[in-house]
Homo-oligomer: A and B are copies of this chain.
Amino acid sequence: MAPSNQLEVPQKSRVTVVGSGNWGSVAAKLIAFNTLHINSFHDEVRMWVFEETLPSGENLSDVINRTNENVKYLPGIKLPKNVVADPDIEHAVRDANMLVFVTPHQFMEGICKRLVGKIREDAVAISLIKGMEVKREGPCMISSLISEILGISCCVLMGANIANEIAVEKFSEATVGYRENKEIAEKWVQLFNTPYFMVSAVQDVEGVELCGTLKNVVALAAGFVDGLEMGNNTKAAIMRIGLREMKALSKLLFPSVKDNTFFESCGVADLITTCLGGRNRRCADAFARNGGKRSFDELEAEMLQGQKLQGVSTAKEVYEVLSHRGWLELFPLFTTVHEICSGRLAPSAIVEYTEHSARLPLLESPVHLN
């Protein structure tokens, strides 16, 4: 006879959002809606807040908890009352078995190291962090960093996700990338999915994560085309070639990457959003209009009020990988973008051709890249 303690009540999952910027606050809003409605999650969602003192003298975390609003990073949007801001990171993660990482990527290594030994043994993670360093040997995936330092499974969530548009519940989509465990992926989908934020999962963590970084390089190319006023036709061609290079590079670096990932929100849709709006596109447009005579640093300072461009440094890092591996000629768009950013070529080089050949599709991709 089975003793009664074998009929365990499944424990409710507890979620903590590590980060409380613009996207982190929107993520907390999405999640908190679901934890209230779905029985398998504990209602309360902790949100770790990097504490700041507001001009009023109050702590940001206190104001969030009193007003249900992140007055600094997501003003005007009410967060569900079950979001609890917590300035103590160790306390915030202590009871959680689902950790959502959404901080600037350069802080992640430090945060992970600080959390070693401080999280539950059954914890799993997801990274919403777009952009990563690409080292000479290859990209330094944020999901791997989390997995390796904390010894836990880590999925990623990427997509065409302009935080402020999702905050006001405009229709949008996202993609969860997972490595092996489909059940965990489905749980993340359940946690994020709402009628206005449609999430689907693909078994391709690297493909999904690389999209979030490489798209910024393509957005620079799209910005050059806009600045040169080449029109929609040329811009679409550049975006398509960029998507092809994103796919080809991801597959060369990680043979498990799947073609269909690039049809998901993390691929083609995020690329479109980034190449239509987006900081990288905007600054590259200005760069081209100035004939490359004003540096990206200067334009960034002037146009972005302290926000940072990722495309320029990613383009440089990607160039180093391509050069190191002897792949420069296979990736004419990525290569040309860096050569323009670094001043070696004029912005017009992005669409230049001679009587005999186009610069961009210099070489057809070998069959195994298609």
Contact = CB atoms under 8 A, between A and B. Distances in A.
Contacts of A231: 162, 165, 170
A212 to B, nearest CB: 14
A160 B234 CA distance: 8
Contact of A263 (B166, B236, B262, B351): B262
Given A234-B165, A235-B276, A357 B171 contact: no
Interface string A339-366: 0000000000001011111101100100
A54 interface: no
Interface in A131-174: 160-162, 165-166, 170-173
Contacts of A233: 160-162, 165-166, 170, 172, 273
Given A165-B231, A351-B170, A259 B260 contact: yes
Contacts of A269: 236-237, 239-240
A260 B259 CA distance: 8
Interface in A271-299: 272-273, 276-277
A173 B244 CA distance: 13
A357 B265 contact: no
A230 interface: yes
Contact of A232 (B235, B272, B355): B272
Contact of A272 (B162, B171, B272, B354): B272
Contact of A239 (B172, B262, B272): B272
B236 A272 contact: yes
Contacts of A265: 236-237, 240
Interface string A229-255: 011111111111101100100000000
Interface stretch (A38-46, A116-124, A195-203): A195-203
A268 interface: yes
A370 interface: yes
16 contacts: A170-B233, A171-B230, A171-B234, A171-B358, A195-B353, A232-B272, A233-B273, A235-B272, A235-B273, A236-B268, A236-B269, A236-B272, A236-B276, A240-B263, A240-B269, A276-B276
Interface of A: 160-162, 165-166, 170-173, 195-196, 198, 200, 230-241, 243-244, 247, 259-260, 262-265, 268-270, 272-273, 276-277, 351, 353-358, 360-361, 364, 370
Given A170-B351, A243-B263, A259-B263, 14 more contacts: A160-B232, A162-B231, A165-B234, A170-B231, A170-B234, A171-B238, A195-B356, A198-B237, A198-B360, A232-B273, A236-B270, A240-B264, A243-B268, A272-B272
